[in-house]
Every structure is written in structure tokens, then in C-alpha cells.
Structure 1
Amino acid sequence: MSEQKKTIDFGFSEVPLEEKVKKVKGVFDSVAGNYDIMNDVMSMGIHRLWKRKTIELSGARSGQKVLDLAGGTGDLTKAFAKRVGQSGQVVLADINESMVRVGRERLIDAGIAGNVDYTITNAEALAFPDNSFDIATIAFGLRNVTNKDKALQELYRVLKPGGQLLVLEFSKVTQPALAKLYDFYSFNILPKMGKFIADDEASYQYLAESIRMHPDQETLKQMMLDAGFDKADYLNMNEGIVALHRGWKY
């Protein structure tokens, strides 16, 4: 099969490989303005606890350099910027200019300045030298990447020896009864909420589908090891609705 004919999942649909980036960009251009309020409504605010746990387990400290990939509207960047202080640096990086713009405005309004940089970059070809960061995170972004293996390899490359990657992502629910309830919510309620709050049912239908197409916990753990990480583990939260994966570069 020629490269031009290869396809990849876009939610439950199949699209030509080269079109996924454009389609994902379209989704996040559409939702950028309402992204934060929808996160609160969709998760009933629990996403804040998931992100707080990510920050705590990162062990970030003064003077460190942090990459917040797929950093979007800046929740993790804001917390990291406070932790690393003015002697440290946080880079909010995202492929989507609309999300970075909203994130930059939010952080400036919150008084976060001086130790935060903003970059438009593709996770599969990061615009940073080898061994650049003490910590890298990607929260709710890896499932939207076309070539996840390449993105994980790139994240490994830009980490310093001794560095840590944290991947916060929706995952496979471990409790069968909850899994059924979660499916009903995802495909019957979530898209309608997207239509009511953001006037965008299709984008939230895609987001629900993309979660189901994402690798499960054990698969992603092995992908991280295959990408070069010397050690990898994960922590299930809320019965696996979300998992926090961690990888170390020695």
C-alpha cells in the first residue's frame, strides 16, 4: 500500500494519514474559546484534581526546566511556573495556535510572566535540542497525535538524563458497571452538552470517540518502554477513567 493511501483513526472514522493533523486542528480551533468551561462541566471539576496529582508526582522544584506539551490553555503551565520560580522555565507548547493564544492570555491575566515561553510545535518533531528538560508533561493530548510512538520518542529525546515524562490521559475503565455508565455518558450526554454550552456537538462526539481509540494502560506503558524510557509505570484514577503514566530517562 502506498503512503498516500494509508489511513488512521479520527475518532471512530478512518481518514487519510496526512489529514488527521488538520482535522484535529479544526476540532481545537472550534473548542478553544469554551475549552476550560467544558472541562469543568464534563468532569464536574475533577480534572483539577487529576492535574494537581500530576504536579505533585512530578516533583518539580525551583530552577528546573519543564515542557508542557499540548499545554493548551495553560493549567499545568501555571502550576509549574509557580513551582520552578523565576530561576526556572516552563515552555507551553502546542500544535494549535488558537489554544496557545487562549493559554497565553489566561496566564498573563493571572500574573504569570517572566519564566514562561510559548511555542507552536508538532509533538512528532519537537523544536528543542536533545536533553533540554528536567520534566515533560502531555495532558489529554497524546490521543490526538497521529504517530504516538514518534511523539514518545521525541519526548524521550528532549528530556535530560534523570528526567521524567508524565502522560495524563483518559484510559480504560477497570470496573465493568462503571464502564457501561461511562459509555452512556460519553456518547449520549457529552455531545449534547457540547451542543448546549459550546454550540459544537460534533467536536465533543470526536473527543468521546478518541478516548475509546486510545491505547489502554498496559499498551501505553509498553509503548513508553519501546520509545526508550528506562522505566515506566501508571496510576489509575477514578477506576481508570484517567491514568497518569510516568516514564524515566536514566
Structure 2
Amino acid sequence: MTKEEYVRGIFDTIAHRYDLLNTLLSFNCDRGWRRFTVARTGLKPGDRALDVCCGTGMLSLELARAVTPGGRVVGVDFSPAMLQVARRRLAASPYGAAVELVEGNAMNLPFADNTFDCATIAFGLRNLPDVKGGLAEMQRVVRPGGRVVSLELAKPSRPIFKQVYYLYFDHLVPLLGRLGIGQDGPYSYLPRSLKGYPHQEEVLQYFHDLGFTGARYYELTGGIVAVHVGVKV
């Protein structure tokens, strides 16, 4: 089984509880992280945005708030179950009409070059089989002068906080996830996926290697997540 097939199976399994568990496991910080991310996009009313690995559509709706009136957001994900949850969320939101959902693969986005003013990805980059390749694909579909913005789990470095965080992440998160969805596996993958994911400095180097200008990152909540931003030349 490829990583892509494995990850799709995980998200299809947890889709019905994904948002609730994210909010609980992040101590309700996830909403602020998404808003911070959208603030880094530079989007304005009338713009077009792409939300890669859009999942249940929570970031897509935040992007829609930024581009309305007159703008458009396309959310793309490879998990049918996650997109089903996203459709219900969009139907209940006043911004839902500004969002279009597409089933597709982040490594081969079904869009032409230079289509969007910005491309975002939230908690999806570490799940891709090729992190740098995924960023390059997002870069391809963004117009020159547009931004690629990633919100992702990171590796905190502050002493004591770092130890406490990894204790929570390695032991309590899988337990709480198992209680939430009634099975082992999906939330045991979460700490494993972070351990195999590059440090935020290395991800920043990917942005530099790809030729983004003004590339930088922001650490939030003690460095447990990072927002990377780069402008396409």
C-alpha cells in the first residue's frame, strides 16, 4: 500500500469526527491558527484562492470570507468522506456559495498554470509523498506575485515545553483519538507523521530552493505549528 492510499484510508475513516477532535486536541487553538494563516495570504475581495487538502472545508470558508464579495475559493482533496463533510459545512455557511469543491490529488492538481492568487494547505503537507514536490505543484498554479501559504504541525524547541508537548503528542493524542473514533490506528499515525516531517527551517529551505521570494515562517503557540509563506516570482 502506498502512503497516498494509507493516508486516504485514514481520513476517510476519521472524517465524521475530524473537526471535533482537532478542536479538542488543539485546545481550540485551531481556529486562531486558520485565521492567522488567511491573514498571511494577502487575499482581497474578488481574488481566487485554492485550498489544497481542504478536508472538511474549514480553511476554505475562512478564505471565502477574505475574497467575498466577488471572489472564489476552490477546495481540493482526495478523500471523498472529507469532501462529504465539507459539502454539509458549506451548505450551512453564508460563505459556502463562494467555495467549489473538487476531488483531486495535491501532487497533480487539475488546474492550469497561474490560475490562482494564492494557494494554501493546512495540516496536509506532511501527508504528501513528496513535500517539496507538493509545494512546487502549488507554486505552478499560482500567478506570479501570488502566495503559497502552509499551516502545518511543527517541532518546538523551547526546553521543558518541548518535552511536555511530545509527551502529550506521543501518548495522550493517540489515546484521545482512539476514544473519539473507537479504534486504534488513525491517531497513532499523527505523531509518526510529525516525526518524519522536516523541521520548519528545512521546509523554509524548500521555499528558497523553489525560488519563492520573501519566504519566511511564523511559529505559533510555542512552536507547535508553523505558517510558511512565499511569493511566486
Same fold per superposition (TM over 0.5): yes
Answering whether residue 73 of structure 2 is matched by residue 90 of structure 1, we say yes
CA contact (8 A) 1:153 1:228 kept: no
Q: Do the aligned partners of 1:156 and 1:228 also contact (CA within 8 Å) in 2?
A: no
Residue number in structure 2 paired with 1:9 = none
The aligned counterpart of 2:85 is: 102
Structure 2: gaps spanning 5 or more residues? none
Other-structure match for 2:230: 247
Amino acid at match of 1:194: G
Alpha-carbon distance, 1:158 to partner: 0.5
* Aligned match of 2:29: 46
Q: RMSD value over aligned CA atoms?
A: 1.2
Question: Quick check: 1:57 aligned with 2:61?
Answer: no
Q: Distance in 1 between matches of 2:55 and 2:153?
A: 16
Alpha-carbon distance between aligned partners in 2 of 1:191 and 1:154, rounded to the nearest angstrom: 32
1:229 aligns with 2:188: no
Determine whether 1:209 maps to 2:192: yes
Q: Which moved more, 1:107-116 or 1:238-247?
A: 107-116
TM-score by length of 1: 0.90
Equivalent position of 1:67 in the other structure: 50
Report the Cα distance in structure 1 between the residues aligned to 2:221 and 2:195, rounded to whole angstroms: 16
User: What runs of 5+ residues in structure 1 fail to find an aligned partner?
Assistant: 1-17
Between the aligned partners of 1:82 and 1:145, the Cα distance in structure 2 is 27
Q: Counterpart amino acid of 1:158?
A: V
Deviation per residue, 1:21-56 (Å, 9 max, x gap): 110011101110000000111001011111111112
- Offset of residue 86 of structure 1: 4.0
> Whole-Å Cα distance in 2 between the matches of residues 107 and 114 of structure 1?
7
Question: 1:165 aligned to 2:135?
Answer: no
The one-letter code sitting in structure 2 at the alignment partner of 1:34 is: R
Q: Give aligned pairs, total.
A: 233
State the match for 2:182 in structure 1: 199
SS at match of 2:43: coil
Percent identity, aligned pairs only?
A: 37
* Local SS of the residue matching 1:169: strand
